[in-house]
Structure 1
Amino acid sequence: MKKIWLFIVLTSLFLSCSDNERSNKNPYIPNYSVNLSVNMSLPAYSDLQFPSNGVIVSGFGAKGIIIFNTGSGYTAFDAACPNQELSSCVAMTIKGVNAVCSCDKTEYSLFTGLGGKEYPLKQYKVDVAGMVLHVYN
């Protein structure tokens, strides 16, 4: 019985790790190094204190970084359209709880990064320390 539980735990751990890695392999978006700190007490980022709000921080990643408050944590995605050539589209925009690609108007969930196309949004890690978010890869 112990061997079965160990197998289940190890299998679920392996699957959860591999899923996260797969979502960031995208032939259209290069792997730029991202190391960004966002202070939510500043006016430009104060909307992030409330669930279902997001901001775009330019100058990081391929086309900027979209940071979103899910209500139970934060997500961060590259603002480049994940299914288009990098040079063919401007940065995505935020529409409610979705990011919208300027080229094909595909909407991607800012909760999951999914949009019904081959590649989801390129995701970054987020750590929270008080009012400061650290976004990195």
Structure 2
Amino acid sequence: MNKILGLILLVLVFACDTNSTTRNPYLQEFGFRFDINTNLPLYSSLTNEGSAIYIDGNQAGTRGIFVIKTQAAFAGYRAFEASCPNHTPNNCSTMTLDNSQNTVTCSCEEYNYSLFTGQLLNPPEGGAKYYSMLEYRVSASGNIVSITN
């Protein structure tokens, strides 16, 4: 009986998941779907690796989304929320795209983020926790790229 109880206890201890994700308190996550046809002139730059576009907030995301063409991983594309992840959306939190550097910048604090990774490139000193960009799901089939949350 003790062996069975010990085995059950052992299974319960190792079955507990210690991995947890930290939810960004500044950005809401709501459902949407946005399809991009890369054959259309508006989105044709997404056929070149390293090229990125901005899609405004009236169409997708909180303040819009940035989509970048990457290598084959991640369906060949990545998509991120255009609102700075390190403060509540406001009049300066919509980031701007610098296609020459494949980065985006938040004008509130001049935070720079990589569009290939979503990571903050210039964290201020002091050891405070900073969030990476909120990434959306991307799937590609032929010339159609679908972005969803």
Alignment-derived partner of residue 129 in structure 1:
141
User: Of 52, 55, 70, which residue of structure 1 is paired with 2:53?
Assistant: 55
1:8-55 CA deviation, whole Å, 9 max, x = no partner?
xxxxxx89xx68xx37x2111111212110111111110000011100
Shift of 1:129: 0.7
Partner of 2:65: 65
Aligned amino acid, residue 136 of structure 2? Y
Equivalent residue number for residue 43 of structure 2: 45
Measured in 1, the distance between the counterparts of 2:93 and 2:42 equals: 21
Asked if 2 retains the 8 angstrom alpha-carbon contact of 1:50 and 1:71, the reply is no
How many corresponding residue pairs?
Answer: 119
Return the structure number with greater helix share. Answer: 1
In the alignment, structure 1 segments of 5+ residues that lack a partner are 1-13
CA RMSD of aligned residues (A): 2.0
Q: How many angstroms does 1:71 deviate by?
A: 2.7
Taking structure 2 as the reference length, the TM-score comes to: 0.73
Does structure 2 conserve the Cα–Cα contact (< 8 Å) formed by 1:63 and 1:91?
yes
| One of 89, 92, 102 as aligned partner of 1:89 | 92
Moved more, 65-74 or 35-44: 65-74
Indicate the percent of aligned positions where both proteins have the same amino acid: 32
